Amino acid sequence: MSELNPILPQEIIDESFKKPGPKQYTLWVDLEYCIGCHACSMGCKAENNTPVGVDFNRVIEIEEGEFKDPKKTPDIGVYFIPMPCMHCGEPACMAACPVGAITKRKDDGIVLINKDKCIGCRYCAWACPYGAPQFNAEAKVMEKCTLCVHRIEKGLIPACVETCVAKTRFFGEMNAITDFVARQKVAKKVSVGAGGTKPSVIYTK
Amino acid sequence: MSVTEKVVDKIINEKNISVENLLCTKLRTTRSGCSLCIDTCPLNAIRISDSGIEISGDCNECGACISVCPNGAFRMKEGGESAVLQEIRDKITDNNGPVFRFSCAHGDKKADLTLPCLGRLTEALLLGPLRNGASATELLKPDCGECHSGKASSQIDEVTKQTGYLLDMFGLDKNAVYVKRAAFSATPAREEKNVSRRAFFGSVRTKMMGIAAASLPDGETHEQPVSPVKNNKRYVLLAVLKTFSPAKEVFIPSADAMLADIEISEKCDGCGACAAICPVGAMTRCDSDGCFSLGFSPALCTNCQACSMVCLRKAVSIKQTVKLNLLLQTGETKLIEVKKKTCPVCRIDFIGGEAGICPICINTGNKRMAAIKNLTKGIRP
């Protein structure tokens, strides 16, 4: 099973927490085993208590290919793609924010919105290539995935990772995960990169 | 820092100048490159960081920052704008001289009012004597090159020029406020006051108590202001301007003006960033009756241009010339009023956009799909 469905060893997660100096916490999503159950979205919603319409994590379903000729093998693909905040290396949202409310934390690379500073102009939503920042109409501020920073600070893993039914979503330090993924026979890293913002979330297939 | 250290620090470094971070354009938006105070401060004592404006111990309280900041982010704790105006009024009844003479501490000691530095003067203070019956305001300016606050000299010229525009508007002689060269005296003049011993120790006690209270690690002293902070400097000027009556319309180039005239184009998408950022409350947003509207009070505008710098759609533009008489206009004008629609996707009200869906939802959807396309391309080459 582990050969087919690589699971991030606990040591790597533990090491991620212990590693001194600047690091980039991130998520690893193995698209091969995502079954599109939306448990991550629900776990996130419950954990962060987001209002209707605001979802820090969305699972997008994609159907691709053609099945026109019944004599041929159908060339189709169905993907479930969870889209959290990519906690980019060079966040477009941070550059777009006119009041400097968005910051990338130096020690763990998490991109956060300071709700006290945010004026709700939604420039970050215009800038983000992944549709991560969402407008909270009640509070009139922008919100987005925080990588469950309140849980991470307690030494826990993000809610979406904990709740993942298919064990296809992992939390850890970016370089540690990249090294681990490179050693796998099956999982192949695919890039979501668009707009040159250096997204940190790792997708494999 | 312990309480004792804080108290000692306050006693040594406590300045008569207070700062109001909410009024600073640079702190309101990262887009602004305003550095007027930093550039003008003769002793390079001002620093602006994320935590706010800091005045270092080098400050000699010349007050050039108060004069140069259009938003009134700097204030004298004692001897503020209103206090100096009151002093001018008192001195004029004493003298009844036709010309009111300001001097700095290094200038003519016989002047009607001696300030630590002439760089502290504002338009309101220069108009003060004229309002109270003086025929002209004379600035006795020694050679600023010899003074350690010499850099503030440019500010004197700027304020004199601005006052000239105002005088022109009231049909008064532009040269009623002028600079006159005076001899430089190396020993600064100090106003000597006869203070009784009781009064002296009384004032020391009051000041120390204030410092001690402010140094206590108590949440109370860091309370957020309840009402929006007002640009006191502009309100004082408007009060002084009220005592004059306008004679003619004066148009000046926007780059040179103390206020701006703003236009909003139909590109506006109602984000309200301009109103949220305006440090002086000249732009206001109103969302009533299913409409989005922007109000503008030209009398409060300080031409900081934060609104136009911030606007993503480039919908806010500043007119080339501005009518100075707008300073006397009370109330606000509506710049834009558009009916709002509700987006069926995000259920948030929006304006503009051709389709029934808000432009942000369309943009976000498109971008998200482009990212996913990029991803699936890697999976299915």
Angle at B74 (CA atoms; ends B6, A98), nearest 5 degrees: 100
Q: Chain B: residue nearest A61 by CA?
A: B372
Cα–Cα distance for residue pair B194/A157, rounded to 1 Å: 71
**Distance between A121 CA and the closest CA of chain B, angstroms:** 5
**What is the predicted pLDDT for the residue at A117?**
92
Angle at B140 (CA atoms; ends B137, B141), nearest 5 degrees: 125
pLDDT in tens, A69-114: 888 888 888 889 999 999 999 999 999 999 999 999 998 999 999 9
Cα–Cα distance for residue pair A125/B366, rounded to 1 Å: 12
Cα–Cα distance for residue pair B305/B318, rounded to 1 Å: 8
Beta bridge partners of B293: B286, B337
CB atoms within 10 A of CB A80: 18
Q: Which residues of B touch A (CB under 8 A)?
A: 28-31, 50, 271-273, 276-277, 310, 312, 346-348, 360, 363-365, 367-368, 370-372, 374-376, 378-380
Cα–Cα distance for residue pair B84/B141, rounded to 1 Å: 19
Q: In sequence order, what E strands does A87-194 have?
A: 102-104, 111-113, 134-136, 141-143, 169-173, 189-190
Cα distances (Å, whole numbers) of residue B269 to A175, B285, B337:
41, 13, 11
**What is the predicted pLDDT for the residue at B215?**
65
CB contact under 8 A, A192 and B29: no
* Residues of chain B by 3-state class (helix, strand, coil), percent to 5: 40, 20, 40
**What is the predicted pLDDT for the residue at B320?**
94
What value of ipTM does the predicted structure carry? 0.89
**What is the predicted pLDDT for the residue at A66?**
82
CB contact under 8 A, A135 and B375: no
Cα distances (Å, whole numbers) of residue A205 to A39, A202, B48, B281:
20, 10, 48, 53
CB contact under 8 A, B379 and A97: no
pLDDT along chain B (381 residues), means of 10: 70 80 93 92 92 88 92 89 89 72 84 89 92 88 86 90 93 89 76 72 78 62 58 93 90 92 91 93 89 93 94 93 92 90 85 83 90 83 61
**What is the predicted pLDDT for the residue at B94?**
59
Cα–Cα distance for residue pair B94/B117, rounded to 1 Å: 23
**What is the predicted pLDDT for the residue at B202?**
82
Between B81-95 and B232-242, two packed helices, what is the crossing angle to 10 degrees?
30
Contact A118, A141 (CB under 8 A): yes
CB contact under 8 A, B272 and A137: no
Q: Chain A: residue nearest B346 by CA?
A: A53
Q: In sequence order, what E strands does B40-92 have?
A: 46-49, 52-55, 74-76
Residues of chain A scoring pLDDT < 70: 1-4, 194-195
Helix (H) or strand (E) holding A59: strand A58-66
**Distance between A9 CA and the closest CA of chain B, angstroms:** 25
Per DSSP, A74 falls in state P
Burial pattern B129-145, b for ≥16 Cβ within 10 A else e, equals bbbbebebbbbbbbebe
Cα–Cα distance for residue pair B314/B305, rounded to 1 Å: 12
- The encoded tokens of residue B18 equal 């207070």
**Distance between A131 CA and the closest CA of chain B, angstroms:** 5
Q: Chain B: residue nearest A119 by CA?
A: B276
